[in-house]
Structure 1
């Protein structure tokens, strides 16, 4: 069993990234062989600042390591440091079909009405994503609901390639549901919108670099409603901001939502918010300290990523070689 997942190197990692993906990755390390990569090639689907991209790769690597990704357990690397990703993507472009890509809802959402002005990379990135997965013969891919369609596309590409060239090379991957539940963390200003670094309000998100005081202030000012905390989850159904804060506390504390509600039932958010802030500080403060240590030593970050790229290349190169042989690119 081999698990693969990637994350685009963007600045400003926040609580939603941590609870929604990164801590799940940390738990996966004890369940399967894991490869995690910084998807800098995927970052080129939109306009990028070269210096910012380079800085973001290091920042993301530092955040992953600080959060618990262990290079002794997992392979952590920069996507572009393994050229086989781009090479296999081009080979698979001969297998993928325009109709398949046209049906990708992410393409429709991201391109919007300006499809003619979108980059070819934005249209084609699901094929690169397929190459990322198939290159390592990954059996499982942890994905959110918005990416399940891309895993299905990867399966279609794998099966068509194997059939077209009469080989048993690529492994059709399955979505991975291990690593525990991934939390869907919403904005602190709007319980109906996901927490995002693109939100213009800094008060909408908690960053991994926020101080203890910043965290406490953001929770104190988080949008809620005047109603007391209910005794059952049904009482949160029409209260998105309340549901979000209770859900975050549940994930951090390891308690069920029912247990959290039982403890705080009847109280207002004036009593609940300090407890949530304390739990958040307990989670983020150690990560922030480790993150600062890694930031001070970019050479060590580069060394760890280079080591990971070497290990990834050892797995990827034989698969790429077989793909080339199957298609007639090599003897």
Structure 2
């Protein structure tokens, strides 16, 4: 009986194994097909002044790394998002200058306009057209739950010293700009978006909007817009040198709080020397109890492509002064080449105009293909 049972079971086990192998093989084929097709990677940055160290370590250096590691079939699309800058008051002359300075920055740090599509968002009207369409299927309730909107409301309440939040002080652009972000991504049917953790909620909204469009306008269970995947940046958040409980920001009134790309070696050294630390002896990585020292360790670790804890162990018996000196040297080494290239490029306006024009043409070609299908699906064709 035992031998008979084995004889009966073997064919069933064999068929099950074959089915499992077939499923695995099919999955691998699907994965390979997706890899062969390539990823579509999109990200954007606002033209609001010369980028600071936090911008470089958090986003821009990651764009360069993505470009280096991209497969031949991957499409990389990087946009200077001028329309987003308008959600807050801007000086027109300064904004115009910042647009070209940001383009020069991207070129200076190593973004190759022949490998990546690099353009001004406001040169491609497909973004605003798609944003309007997506606005019409996005509930206001979702937008009011966005962290950025609630933060602006909190600012409004404090400014007015009232017990109730006053929405009347805020412009509509602050409420709906996350939909424009979604349009930026979906206009190219992007599959991957490199963003920091502070933008995770916005990317989740983009996925929700994509799903809503697919359910509303795409027949059956087919998917027109992919659900973009977040590519998290590897670097930890860089904090203000003067207030290490806050993020390093271009909008801070204290220029000593940030290091920008155009700072000289002496300016970098001066800002690092004046960075807020503490009176505790030795060096340790403790973001809660020692935010200033931990911020310096984070910066040095990012420059050396190491972890802050690893760097901290090497400095355990050293002084804060020694740490600051080495951080200044590391940042100068990081910025020296890009800074010189930026200064060269910012004066070559004709070249920058041509790069922007070529990038916009490539961006329009990609996004117009999307919009032709969108117009047809919603009945505007």
1:31 partnered with 2:86: no
SS of the aligned residue for 1:142 comes to strand
- Per-residue CA deviations over 1:115-164 (Å, capped at 9, x if unaligned) read 21211111111111111111101011122222211111111111111111
Match in the other structure for 1:250: 301
Cα deviation for residue 227 of structure 1 reads 2.2
2:287/2:295 contact within 8 Å kept: no
* Greater Rg by CA: 2
**Match of residue 60 from structure 1:** 102
Q: Are residue 274 (structure 1) and residue 329 (structure 2) matched?
A: no
Following the alignment from structure 1 to structure 2, what is the Cα–Cα distance between the partners of residues 98 and 262? 49
| Partner of residue 228, structure 2 | 173
CA contact (8 A) 1:169 1:323 kept: no
Could you tell me how far apart the structure 2 residues matched to 1:318 and 1:288 are? 38
Report deviation, 1:299.
1.3
Contact 1:34–1:74 (CA under 8 A) maintained in structure 2: yes
Instruction: Give the gaps of 5 or more residues in structure 1.
Output: none
Look up the match of 1:263: 314
For 2:244 and 2:268, how far apart are their aligned partners in 1? Answer: 18
Task: Name the residue aligned to 1:92.
Answer: 134
Pairing of 1:1-331 with structure 2 (within 5 A): 1-32=39-70, 33-112=75-154, 113=156, 114-167=166-219, 168-177=223-232, 181-230=234-283, 233=285, 237-330=288-381
What CA distance in whole angstroms lies between the structure 2 residues aligned with 1:236 and 1:34? 34
Q: For the residues of structure 2 that align with 1:50 and 1:61, how far apart are their CA atoms? A: 17
TM-score by length of 1: 0.94
Deviating above 4 A after TM superposition, structure 1's stretches of 4 or more consecutive aligned residues are none
Aligned length: 326
Q: Which moves more between the two structures, 308-317 or 106-115?
A: 106-115
Q: TM-score, normalised by structure 2?
A: 0.82
Structure having greater relative contact order (Cα 8 Å, sep ≥ 6)? 1
Displacement of 1:241? 0.2
